[in-house]
Structure 1
Amino acid sequence: MDVFKLLSRSSKAVQAPPTHKLPSDGAAANPQLFGHAESNAIEHAVNKGQKRKRGQDTAEAKEELPAGLYFFGSAPKAPEAEHKADAEDKGCAKKEGLENETVGDRAEDQDSTDAYDEDECKRILRSHKLKIMVLEDFRMHEEDPQKEKKKVKKREREKEKVQDKKKNAKKQLLPQPLTSFAQLRSRHGISRRLADNLREQGYKVPTEVQLGALPLLLGKKGSREAQKGSEPGSPSSSGEEYGGDIDLLTIAPTGSGKTIAFLIPIINKHVSQKSDGVEGPRAVIIAPTRELASQIVNEARKLSKGTGIKAALMKKGMEVVERPVHEVSEASLDIPEVSEEEGSASDSENEGKVARLKKRTHRRSEKLKAAILVATPLALLNALKLRDDKIAKLPSVRHLVLDEADVLLDPLFREQTLAIWNACTSPLLRVGLWSATIGSNIEALAINTLNDRWSTLSSSNLPSRRPLIRLVVGLKDTAIPNITHQLTYAATEQGKLLGLRQLLHPTAVPSSDSTPSLRPPFLVFTQTIPRAIALHSELLYDIPPEAGGSSRIAVLHADLSSSARENIMTRFRRGEIWVLITTDLLARGVDFRGLNGVVNYDVPNSAAAYVHRVGRTGRAGREGGVAVTFYTQEDIPHIKLIANVIRASEKLRGKSEEEASVKQWLLDALPTPSKRDKRQLKKRGVEARRNVKDGEGKGKMRISTKSGYERRIENRRRGAKMAHKERGREDTRAIQAASESEFEGFE
């Protein structure tokens, strides 16, 4: 079925579609956003055949033979010159039927234990635009055991600490980059079952965030025991002195594989500790929306298959911690009041009733048995609340991950998120903050929270303080470079509706291959829920019946029930829905791999919101995604925020001034919003669109093609019908009253 032909309504013959790559065409061979030239050079060098060890070619030839052809015994072992870890991985691959690996993968697997020197690490990290720095080293804040008495010496020591902190706190790290997922087993020692699950899911080439984050979080194989006795301040640029025991703040583009990057270390850590007798969840992952939390659970279940590690989504009524006996209030048990004389006789009966009701209440609640708990902040906080608004503690949690950390630490969720953070009282807690946009205020808040946490922990059980490391991929607060941005001036709301209908019904395919067109499926973002519902009603019958009609368009927002939202998401992923109208509910984290484009019907309320909205397309290295943004006269004071993001993204892609969609003259002509305007826009959006009722100057914000004259006629007809029905009801009441008053009964 050709979607473009079904949606085209032109008298002219439809031309052949352009040969553009679309995200819905399939997965990209290389999911990386940067460093393609170097990856191709490495693959070319491997295929050409560089210096190899003796017996390496014969080993590869033997590897290609199926295991079933060795009739007289098991397959021959690899040569002794090869590493034992590589031979172990190959034997595991033969058992699972994964012999068909590429030449490049085998070469990387053979050289996986060879370490890169510092210059090579720097070159690889720079080509992939990775920047890793120690944001804060809390080990420098440890107090000396012997305190001096004189205040002058104390001040001098504090000055020296401040100077050392300025010199070493922003130290740049150059860890060994992960160039293949095959190196996770040999170099970092992950579990065999987890490595098999990664192969089954088709993970071969790591993305930029996985290339830099996994070596930091996993540590080098066999280096943790050796590094326990090392001095915490030993200088090193690779970060191996931390042994994977760090807190990580990651800023990476949307669709770059952040979920896999923080799930692999969590699952690998708890595979070896699944029988340590710890009760309760050992890892908590917080997400701002239920859709994102459900997606994380699905990925965790795929990676933890066969490992014995369970992942669960927080549901209503789920019991996370064991509640004390006194938490069940007597008022809720409905115990009858008794007098003082009958009190002694009825005490035993009341105690038995309380015990039975408590047992019944305990049976209703579902006890959590999963090691990995994924939840939204409010759902988990409600499960942790005790009497008197106290929060239960989670001493079993060893990993706390904040996905979309900038939203979770925003004033909207900040109090709930910090309450959960403080409830994790284990001194071994490792914290991870992940997002595509994290500002300096969020970094400062994270440093202060970690510093307060270290100061409140008891010194007797306090391990060596771990540093906070920041990993940045590309440029901060920049959209992904592999999509095309279009900034369209529509003047009015009617112009935006006309522009959206032109996207739905293209009259002809553009003749120029340099400007890709928007093809279904795509998302349409609006500012508020009423505007999303109104736009859905307006476009409901725009798709012809031959293409599926109104079933191809749907609306998704927070007012719908959870079952309705899940149904719409499932239909959209299956391809039954082509156009999904939504709010910022789906702007963060949700992965739509085959999404061809995004339409910002209403301008986003911040630059970060634009980055996350357009990041729904072009995920995992897929090219051809289109992001269209309509703006009107009311959006001109705020549109420069979006124009700057588009400009930076196109520079990162390498476009020249002539090819750029946002010209310099447009940036010079647009007004620069003040800080107050930015805060107001982020908090409430464009004020004119919040009220779409008829009034002075507000009727023009309504999403509709009907004129005011037609609306007045419809309102008059509707009012006449309602008045006619009301008069009919009054006549009926009058007749009934008259009939009842005719006979008054016998005296």
Structure 2
Amino acid sequence: MDAFDLFRKLGAGAKFDFKRFGKDADRFKQGEMEGEGILWTSSADRKAKGLQKVERDKEKISMKRLKQLHQEKVNRVRAQHRINVHGCDVPDPVCTFSELQSEYGLNPRVLQNLSSAGLTTPTPIQMQAIPLMMHGRELLACAPTGSGKTLAFCLPLLTHLKQPANLGFRALIISPTRELASQTHRELVRLSEGVGFRVHILDKASMAAKKYGPSSNKKYDILVSTPNRLVFLLKQDPPALHLSSVEWLVVDESDKLFEDGRSGFRDQLAAVFQACSGPRVRRALYSATCVPDVEQWCRINLDNLVSVNIGHRNSAVETVEQELLFVGTENGKLLAMRDIIKKGFLPPMLVFVQSIERARELFHELVYEGINVDVIHADRTQQQRDNVISSFRSGDIWVLICTALLARGIDFKGVNLVLNYDFPTSAVEYIHRIGRTGRAGHTGRAVTFFTEDDKPLLRSIANVIKQAGCPVPDYMLGFKKIHSVVVREADCHVIVFDPRHGQNKVCIRICSFDSCNNPAHYA
């Protein structure tokens, strides 16, 4: 009971003299309307205010519930596509390319170019990585081979840069090999057709030093290059290239580029990072496999890092049928290879060997088998390598023998079989090799030869195969785990321990022969 109800009860039956107290009554009504010193209101007013409060509470609960339902939907999408993301304030994944136009302003012409290429639905890595880069976030992205990582960083670059401007290179993409750089360049040119972006790839460094002078830098927007060629230009006096306007630095196959030693690029990568001195530069690192060194560097050096992983880390694609084939000794490899050819196979086929010498030897063995075979490795000229890749893409070459040169990122349409003629030295190398088939949702097959000498290295590969859902004999998983011992010489060349040569010898060349008698190969 409030004061108004109490006054009404106490005054029940009393007569009010309006003639005597009319002025006071009018003043009371006016005060009730204006709130001048009146401490009570009518029951109708109190009921209306109570209803307003209830409505506000309902609205708050409704908004909270809507947010909760939205987050549950986002979590379901990520779980369905096996998207694992770690970081703060992570934007929602996109499920269609059209969302990029409505929410992030993707150029309609770029969307049209996507449709023309037959790309209608984003892959899991594209669903999460593209919104992150659209928001200007620095990230480390790890996704299986053939999952569309190139498109995942190309689309944000074209959207972020908006339109061509004579400001110099505003985006830089680093790739470990010239073949992968050329592939990325083609993808960017295709996507930006009709938009006007000037995408360039560094050709021979000596020629590029004249072409990319300080005054001509401003005619370009996006640069694709390998670290070696880029560092060569940066070390010119004066530097033949300026990267102070770079707003996005993308490192493709980042785990390879962070390797030390003769086969790695860590020193060159450090020089590139230092040259990208602009205050607005942001970095994105992509790879099919993620190693602890890269992850640790990103946590220390990247601002507000977001980590994106698709499926299990360092796992092979499940669209590849994987098989381990015991061939006994080194001579058994050639017999098994000829047996595959004799039984018939569906080309094209990629054959991986461990060294340039091994590639040459196998080529000379197969060139007389009546099949169209060729070889590609680092000792061949760039023109020869380009011609071989072009012939392989067009179907003129059925079997292509290669070293680790092509194990990273190269996208061949419809490779049906990957043959590991020489056993991979690590699970990471194995994942990249077999990733040349089974790309973009297609199925493929991978066969790996192993001998008695390869048994110490077998367990790690067998685990990758089992994780992908392919059958593996139990005895292979029972071998003792072998840890690689890395020894550094004075010239900083990395020497990997090879169990097949015993505990006291380390073969620099990692030969795949039964024995190695070359003293120059050991330390």
Of the candidates 314, 317, 325, which is equivalent to residue 480 of structure 1? 317
Percent pairwise identity: 38
The one of the two structures with greater contact order (alpha-carbon pairs below 8 A, sep at least 6) is: 1
Alignment of 1:184-333 (within 5 A): 184-218=100-134, 244-272=135-163, 274-275=164-165, 277-278=166-167, 280-316=168-204, 317-319=207-209, 322=213
In the alignment, the residues of structure 1 paired with residue 380 and residue 404 of structure 2 have an alpha-carbon distance, to the nearest angstrom, of: 14
Q: Which amino acid aligns with 1:409?
A: F
**Structure 1: gaps (5+ residues):** 1-113, 135-170, 219-243, 324-361, 451-465, 508-517, 544-548, 651-659, 701-747
SS at match of 1:374: strand
In the alignment, the residues of structure 1 paired with residue 510 and residue 420 of structure 2 have an alpha-carbon distance, to the nearest angstrom, of: 19
Number of residue pairs matched?
Answer: 436
In the alignment, the residues of structure 2 paired with residue 678 and residue 506 of structure 1 have an alpha-carbon distance, to the nearest angstrom, of: 44
Relative distance call for 1:534 and 1:469 in structure 2 (3 A) is: same
Q: Which amino acid aligns with 2:496?
A: K
CA contact (8 A) 1:271 1:308 kept: no
The residue aligned with 1:645 is: 464
In the alignment, the residues of structure 2 paired with residue 693 and residue 248 of structure 1 have an alpha-carbon distance, to the nearest angstrom, of: 38
| 1:523 matched to 2:350 | yes
Relative distance call for 1:682 and 1:133 in structure 2 (3 A) is: farther
SS at match of 1:210: helix
Relative distance call for 1:125 and 1:678 in structure 2 (3 A) is: farther
The residue aligned with 2:482 is: 673
Deviation digits for residues 450-469 of structure 1, max 9, x if unmatched?
Answer: 4xxxxxxxxxxxxxxx4111
Alignment of 1:120-139 (within 5 A): 120-134=73-87
Deviation digits for residues 115-162 of structure 1, max 9, x if unmatched?
Answer: 97100000110111101111xxxxxxxxxxxxxxxxxxxxxxxxxxxx
In the alignment, the residues of structure 1 paired with residue 498 and residue 383 of structure 2 have an alpha-carbon distance, to the nearest angstrom, of: 29
The residue aligned with 2:223 is: 373
In the alignment, the residues of structure 2 paired with residue 378 and residue 116 of structure 1 have an alpha-carbon distance, to the nearest angstrom, of: 50
Q: CA deviation at 1:485?
A: 0.6
The residue aligned with 2:471 is: 661
Relative distance call for 1:368 and 1:564 in structure 2 (3 A) is: farther
| 1:404 matched to 2:253 | yes
SS at match of 1:505: helix
The residue aligned with 2:9 is: none
CA contact (8 A) 1:693 1:699 kept: no
In the alignment, the residues of structure 1 paired with residue 397 and residue 192 of structure 2 have an alpha-carbon distance, to the nearest angstrom, of: 31
In the alignment, the residues of structure 2 paired with residue 588 and residue 406 of structure 1 have an alpha-carbon distance, to the nearest angstrom, of: 11
SS at match of 2:104: coil
TM-score between the two structures when normalised by the length of structure 1: 0.55
Q: CA deviation at 1:184?
A: 1.5
Relative distance call for 1:522 and 1:684 in structure 2 (3 A) is: farther
Q: CA deviation at 1:430?
A: 1.1
Of the candidates 286, 292, 296, which is equivalent to residue 434 of structure 1? 286
SS at match of 2:467: helix
SS at match of 1:589: coil
Of the candidates 392, 398, 401, which is equivalent to residue 572 of structure 1? 392
Q: CA deviation at 1:369?
A: 2.9
Q: CA deviation at 1:394?
A: 1.7
Deviation digits for residues 582-626 of structure 1, max 9, x if unmatched?
Answer: 000000000012100100001112111100000000000102x11
Deviation digits for residues 223-260 of structure 1, max 9, x if unmatched?
Answer: xxxxxxxxxxxxxxxxxxxxx02101100000000000
CA contact (8 A) 1:395 1:425 kept: yes
Relative distance call for 1:685 and 1:474 in structure 2 (3 A) is: same
Q: CA deviation at 1:387?
A: 3.7
Q: Which amino acid aligns with 2:337?
A: L
SS at match of 2:139: strand
* Structure with greater Cα Rg: 2
Alignment of 1:158-169 (within 5 A): none
CA contact (8 A) 1:121 1:175 kept: no
Alignment of 1:545-694 (within 5 A): 549=371, 552-623=372-443, 625-650=444-469, 660-668=470-478, 670-676=479-485, 683=496, 690=509
Relative distance call for 1:633 and 1:282 in structure 2 (3 A) is: same
Q: Which amino acid aligns with 1:372?
A: I
Relative distance call for 1:682 and 1:188 in structure 2 (3 A) is: farther
Q: CA deviation at 1:441?
A: 1.6
**Structure 2: gaps (5+ residues):** 1-66, 502-506, 519-523
